[in-house]
Amino acid sequence: MITEDVDVTAVLDRVQTGVQAFDELVMGGLPRARTTVVGGTPGSGKTVFATQFLAHGITTFGENGVLVTFEEPPADIEANMLGFGWELAKWRKDGRLGFVDASPPASDELIIGDFDLVGLLSRIQHAVKTVSAKRVVLDSLTQLFDHFIGDPKILRRELFHISSALKKTGLTVLMTAERNSEYGEITRHRLEEFVADNVVILRNVLHREKRRRTIEVLKMRGSHHAEGEAPFTLLANQGVVAVPLSSLRLEQQSSTMRVTSGNSEIDQMCGGGFFRDSVTLVSGATGTGKTLLVTNFLAGGVAAGEKAILFGYEESKGQLFRNASGWGADFAQMEAAGKLKIVCLYPEAQGCRIICLPSRAWSTNSSRTGLRWTASPHWSGLPPIPGSANF
């Protein structure tokens, strides 16, 4: 077997997907000039992930792209992606994005026996040349293969032919494929993962009447990657936002500075107050004073010139205002002065997005004043804060 010499530097060159936390999982991005399969059940976010890959290349790196659709017409995709802030129609008119519409015709036809996809490959190559593309998305291969009945070896041969032809021209290819279950076979036809260099799995698991989205890098040929599932969500005007839990490092510094709890006696019990960068859990039965302690903590921080955030998962803002006033804390005045932010939501009304805002909330606050926050009574993360950029 004759093999060509491979430039290792070129192979390891990375292409950022636009999903920042995911790029961390794969050590900086997907390897350039290679193929990646993104598998998932319907509704798992495959098309959004793939479109974000193209959008990031166009808007950030000036790398034009081609989107080959086997399921939805281009007009539908353009309309659907507007909610994420991606102007596909404008990019297409500007010559930065090319479409290859291979969506099924009104009359559903099945092809039996031998076949080839030379015509499809020619259309893709023409679109790539027209817009000088560097990135190509095929969405979704499952819909293409569902129209062919025959030897699986033929499907694999044709897919390998398309993949190889695109890679030889230096294109980074992302292909989506459907799965029948969240933890079953990687793809429905069990072909795509063997042809691709990289395999990424998107899951949307139903657990206790709630959906939990995760992303997992299953294979990254010739490259190291973080293992295990990482949570993600889909946000308007952002797309896929992942949280790389497996790549987190315990490297943060610890401060010896103390901050007041809002109660001098508790401060004395704690040796002068809480450590600034600490997390304190207050546990107790109903009526033991948990919310009162939280109120003192917030009021004490505001009095010390700090900004504070309260996330309530049981009582409404009006109830918290009323109760705080009974204890001598004017939450309404604090919020009006921009010193306090209160967000009240049921835990069931939130998903993974609740853990996507700590850095944003922190960055809007002066490092000299610090930031204290509390969740009462059930902490499960940070919910999105309307207007938090001004807080």
374/370 Cα distance (integer angstroms): 14
Catalytic residue, chosen from 87, 109, 251, 314, is 314
Q: CB of 70 within 8 A of CB of 144?
A: yes
CA angle 339, 340, 342 (to 5 degrees): 160
Residue 193 annotated as catalytic? no
Q: Please tell me whether residue 231 adopts helix, strand or coil conformation.
A: strand
**Secondary structure E strands in the chain:** 14-15, 30-31, 35-40, 65-69, 97-101, 111-112, 135-139, 148-149, 172-178, 198-207, 210-220, 229-235, 239-242, 258-259, 274-275, 307-312, 340-344, 371-376
Catalytic residue, chosen from 24, 71, 193, 216, is 71
Q: CB of 233 within 8 A of CB of 69?
A: no
Count CB-CB contacts under 10 A for residue 333. 13
Residue 71 annotated as catalytic? yes
Of 332, 341, 333, 336, residue with least CA distance to 388: 341
Residue type, 15: V
Burial 78-95 (b: 16+ CB within 10 A, else e): beebeebebbbbebbeee
Q: CB of 110 within 8 A of CB of 76?
A: no
Active site residues: 71, 314
